[in-house]
Amino acid sequence: MKKCIVMNIADNVATTLQGAERGDTFSVLDYSMHEIGRIESNEVIPFAHKIALKNITKGDYVIKYGEIIGIATETIEVGSYVHIHNLASLRGKIKAHINPGKDDT
């Protein structure tokens, strides 16, 4: 069985500790390395990349380490690979979210 780790209870993605093929089962581990669940991958997911722990609707926040890391650009099903093809990063855009309508100068 493959393993993935989730660092915060609020997270809706986990980090794979091994690469996976479609149909591989992951043991979902918390930060103490205790199993808190299992999930099946529904596509190839590389080592150290994100797997969706829940269904994430287009426009919803993607949360890792208890922090918002981006917004889903399409609906992401549980067990799916979460990466730049379905996630818009908020890195460098936080100021715009804090002060909407203000320019960056």
pTM: 0.85
Domains in the chain with CATH codes? 2-98 (2.30.130.110)
- Give CA separation, 23 vs 4, 15, 41, 90, in Å: 15, 17, 5, 31
How far, in Å, CA of 23 to CA of 80, rounded? 11
pLDDT at res. 105 = 42
CB atoms within 10 A of CB 104: 8
61-95 confidence digits (pLDDT tens): 999 999 999 999 999 999 999 999 999 998 766 55
